Structure formats: structure tokens, C-alpha cells
Amino acid sequence: MKTWLPKYSGFGTPNHELIDAQISIIDGSSELSDIDEGDFEEIDAQNEVYRGAEEAEMWLDGDREEDLFEEQS
């Protein structure tokens, strides 16, 4: 996805950092507790990265059935 997804969305979401966090959870190089939660109240960029990592952990644990990554057609 990083080949076609912009580094930041129009809303400031750090897409590439979010993907890297998800990969680090899946490959076991990080745990969710290693990732800064950011500001949940403001849903800042770091919180978006954390929530992406949380999705990856849910997927890894079997608590999320849909694909984490969508392919561009």
C-alpha cells in the first residue's frame, strides 16, 4: 500500500507510519504497549497510529476477520 498511498492523508493521518506500526505488531517486533497511544480525546496523528496497531493486534489474535490491507485495483 505504501507504493500508492500518500505518506499523509488530506486530514493529516500518517498513513506510512500507521502501516509500519501494523507490520511491527504482525511480525512481532513490537507489542501494542510499545506504541504511544497519543491523545485519544483529540484523536491526534499518534493516536491514529496506535489505533492502526490495535487493529493489527486484533487481526493477529483472530478478533477481526476482514483484511487489514486492501489492494488497489
Give the residue ranges of the chain where pLDDT is below 50.
Answer: none
Domain span holding position 38: 15-60
Asked, for residue 24, whether it belongs to a domain, the answer is: yes
Asked, for residue 5, whether it belongs to a domain, the answer is: no
Asked, for residue 50, whether it belongs to a domain, the answer is: yes
Instruction: Report pLDDT for 47.
Output: 93
Asked, for residue 4, whether it belongs to a domain, the answer is: no
Q: Which residues, in sequence order, are bridge partners of residue 14?
A: 8
Pairwise CA distance, residues 7 & 28, whole Å: 23
- For the segment 34-43, what is each residue's pLDDT rounded down to a tens digit? 999 999 888 8
Pairwise CA distance, residues 68 & 73, whole Å: 16
Is residue 55 within 8 Å of residue 47, measured between CB atoms? Answer: no
Instruction: Report pLDDT for 27.
Output: 96
Number of domains within the chain: 1
